[in-house]
Structure 1
Amino acid sequence: MARALRPSFEIGSVRVRAGRAQSLALPITRLVTGADVDLPIRVVHGREEGPTVWVDAAIHGDEAVGVEVVRQVLAALDPKTLRGTLIAVPIVNVLGFMNGSRYLPDRRDLNRSFPGAPRGSLAGRIAHLFMTQVVDQCEVGIDLHTGSDRRTNLPQIRADLEDARTRELAAAFAAPVMLHAKVRDGSLRHAAREHGATVLLYEAGEAWRMDAWAVEAGVLGVRRVLAALGMTEPVAEDPPAASEVSWRSGWVRARGTGMLHLEAGLGQRVEEGQRLGGLFDSFGKRVRLVHANRAGVVIGRTEAPLVTSGDAVVHIAEVEA
């Protein structure tokens, strides 16, 4: 007797049959030219039962790394062997992405606009659409980001490590560092958690760059999480190193103004008081040194050549022994 197929997966006005993958577009708004702006989505609906998971990128429109991560993850998935369902949203902030802007045209930060409202601002409407059509159908989500404002980040997972399930999935991702991070009001992570979802936030690379090392770590991490959830077979690789665990981090700030020459690289272990670089005037005279304000691992740094007193220059995460 033939085994009954899973029910079709409904999203928007589309029904995706089990064992199929299908792309669709959910209407967002219309431009003054009359062209429609849609939210691009691809659903991979496996033949066998399993979790429903979403992965998204480019909530901030200048963050390109996650878009490539989603592309590569989708390329390796077969709906005929997938257990469960994956909803992939490669570009959430479509208008910002088209302009290379972190924000929406009205200067709102989409990641401060969740859960949104159907008759709110443009940001609120996009957030509401994403929550009702994607998040509310899922139990786990992976939100992909990069550094902002000419900063670059070491591959890292930011999540609520006090929650056992979240920490388990963060460990499965196996980024170099997993950082306990409080949720911010209005963020996707906060709104999704309020709706009962477990959310991992991946940070890696620099805005508007296609950093290959950040893409590779993201692709492997997402695949490991899908395997840990039983949706796919384990990734064929040597066992990754366990993530460093951090419960606290902070930025070193410039104590002067000048051209910045950093000596500290991403992933480097530093001691409190260690020299990280220096500030120089336009004639090459050193005006100030930069020192670590704590011991830990460098998980972020500015790429700006000129800094002003008070600017954040190096992000250090204190890690467990």
Structure 2
Amino acid sequence: MRSLKPIVIFGESILPGENKTINVEMARLHTTTKLNIPIIVRRSKLDGPVVLFSAGIHGDEINGIEIVRQLISKKINKPKKGTIICIPIINMYGFVNKSREFPDGRDLNRSFPGSKTGSLASRFAFHILTEVMPLVNYAIDFHAGGASRFNAPQIRLTENDAELKILADVFNAPFTLYSKNILGSFRNSSEKLNVKMLLFEGGKSLDINIDVANEGVNGVKRILKHLDMLDPKHHTERQKSASIYIEKSHWIRAKCSGMLHDNNTIGTFVKKGTILATITDPFGKFERKVKAPNDGYVINANHSPIVYEGDAIYHLSNTLIAEKPEKNNKVHSGMIADFNNFSQS
């Protein structure tokens, strides 16, 4: 079935079979320098869904930006049918400043649905939500852990949504977490527009990790194949073990301040009492072990060398839905067993 109807984004018309990059200027730097946000649109001549891949809503979460960049550079965003919209960097201000927030100090991912006459972050949120999201059927928004906290690759979705559950299964990230929508978030506002959005978390801020990027790109290819949108020339890797669903989890917090010596358990299944890290003072007076309070998977680890009492240092599952851990206790056959060795600055 051929679609003859153009779609319009920020006043730009994109016809079936057309590729277009729309450079959106919502505001300028204080030097009056233009700061454009490229929106890359590729349409097939055949009718089909509209899918959005976005990243950089927090400007320092580079790993998500790298995933969307690869989708474009490898031409995975060229659909067999339908339309693929890529926004590699939503928060261009944060990206330029290597910062999570907007220049006004606001978190864009707490500013939705936004306002046409509100703060700078609020105006951005408003325009993305009104100009782009009404066209979209499915979306994946890519994130990374903040403040030196490294997330094992994971999909987050709301509970009790059968279609999202199917999409999460198809994406097949190492972990899948049920998490409620947060008021003011992009995901929450998109859901109200009936957009089926998955949220991907992987890696940490101001870092590019090869394994995390591969997980994101391969998951996208599986989603596009499921929607019959993937160009046949793109090979989808054979799925490994099924995603491990985590219903409940909790943070382990530092009981004292000091230097954190991480034992690299990210992505692994640990038993109660496993030593996850040691906290020391810089003067050789004490060493305090951080132990797992229960059996579970380590889905986030703080990679900061210095922590303060009360800092979140490990995110550990405590209720698992799905299979038992594999013999080597590694997720996806050890693919994410040692992220530190693959981290690139």
Mark yes or no: TM-score above 0.5: yes
Shift of 1:225: 1.1
- Give the whole-Å Cα distance in 2 for the aligned partners of 1:32 and 1:79: 34
- Give the whole-Å Cα distance in 2 for the aligned partners of 1:79 and 1:265: 34
Further displaced range: 87-96 or 284-293? 284-293
SS at match of 1:248: strand
TM-score normalised according to structure 1 size: 0.94
Runs of 4+ more than 6 Å apart: none
Further displaced range: 248-257 or 233-242? 233-242
SS at match of 1:146: strand
Map of 1:82 onto structure 2: 80
- 1:1-321 equivalences under 5 Å are 6-77=4-75, 82-232=80-230, 233=232, 235-318=235-318, 319-320=320-321, 321=323
- Give the whole-Å Cα distance in 1 for the aligned partners of 2:222 and 2:307: 39
Supply the AA of the counterpart residue of 1:311: D
Further displaced range: 32-41 or 254-263? 32-41
Check the 8 A contact 1:154/1:266 in 2, yes or no. Answer: yes
Map of 2:341 onto structure 1: none
What are the superposed Cα offsets for residues 15-36 of structure 1, whole Å, 9 maximum, x if unpaired? 1221222101122112333222
Check the 8 A contact 2:218/2:236 in 1, yes or no. Answer: no
- Give the whole-Å Cα distance in 1 for the aligned partners of 2:310 and 2:269: 23
SS at match of 2:266: coil
TM-score normalised according to structure 2 size: 0.88
- Give the whole-Å Cα distance in 1 for the aligned partners of 2:281 and 2:19: 57
Supply the AA of the counterpart residue of 1:266: I
What are the superposed Cα offsets for residues 50-74 of structure 1, whole Å, 9 maximum, x if unpaired? 1111110000010111111112112
What are the superposed Cα offsets for residues 147-167 of structure 1, whole Å, 9 maximum, x if unpaired? 100111100001114211111
What are the superposed Cα offsets for residues 205-233 of structure 1, whole Å, 9 maximum, x if unpaired? 11011111111111111111111122114
Check the 8 A contact 2:53/2:86 in 1, yes or no. Answer: yes
Per the alignment, do residues 78 and 252 of structure 1 end up closer, same or farther by CA in structure 2, a change over 3 Å counting?
A: closer
SS at match of 1:171: helix
Further displaced range: 233-242 or 151-160? 233-242
Supply the AA of the counterpart residue of 1:32: H
Shift of 1:79: 7.5
Instruction: Give the superposed CA RMSD.
Output: 1.7
- Give the whole-Å Cα distance in 2 for the aligned partners of 1:257 and 1:26: 45
SS at match of 2:168: helix
Per the alignment, do residues 274 and 172 of structure 1 end up closer, same or farther by CA in structure 2, a change over 3 Å counting?
A: same
Gapped regions of structure 1 (runs ≥ 5): none
Per the alignment, do residues 103 and 4 of structure 1 end up closer, same or farther by CA in structure 2, a change over 3 Å counting?
A: closer
Per the alignment, do residues 129 and 109 of structure 1 end up closer, same or farther by CA in structure 2, a change over 3 Å counting?
A: same
Per the alignment, do residues 302 and 126 of structure 1 end up closer, same or farther by CA in structure 2, a change over 3 Å counting?
A: same
SS at match of 2:25: strand
Which one has a larger percent strand, Structure 1 or Structure 2? Answer: 1
Gapped regions of structure 2 (runs ≥ 5): 324-345
| Identical residues among aligned pairs (%) | 37
Per the alignment, do residues 149 and 288 of structure 1 end up closer, same or farther by CA in structure 2, a change over 3 Å counting?
A: same
- Give the whole-Å Cα distance in 2 for the aligned partners of 1:108 and 1:157: 25
Check the 8 A contact 2:151/2:300 in 1, yes or no. Answer: yes
Per the alignment, do residues 123 and 286 of structure 1 end up closer, same or farther by CA in structure 2, a change over 3 Å counting?
A: same
What are the superposed Cα offsets for residues 94-152 of structure 1, whole Å, 9 maximum, x if unpaired? 11100101000010000000010111110110001110111111111100000100111
Per the alignment, do residues 81 and 181 of structure 1 end up closer, same or farther by CA in structure 2, a change over 3 Å counting?
A: closer
What are the superposed Cα offsets for residues 30-52 of structure 1, whole Å, 9 maximum, x if unpaired? 23332222321000111111111
Check the 8 A contact 1:258/1:287 in 2, yes or no. Answer: no
* Alignment: residue pair count: 319
Per the alignment, do residues 274 and 146 of structure 1 end up closer, same or farther by CA in structure 2, a change over 3 Å counting?
A: same
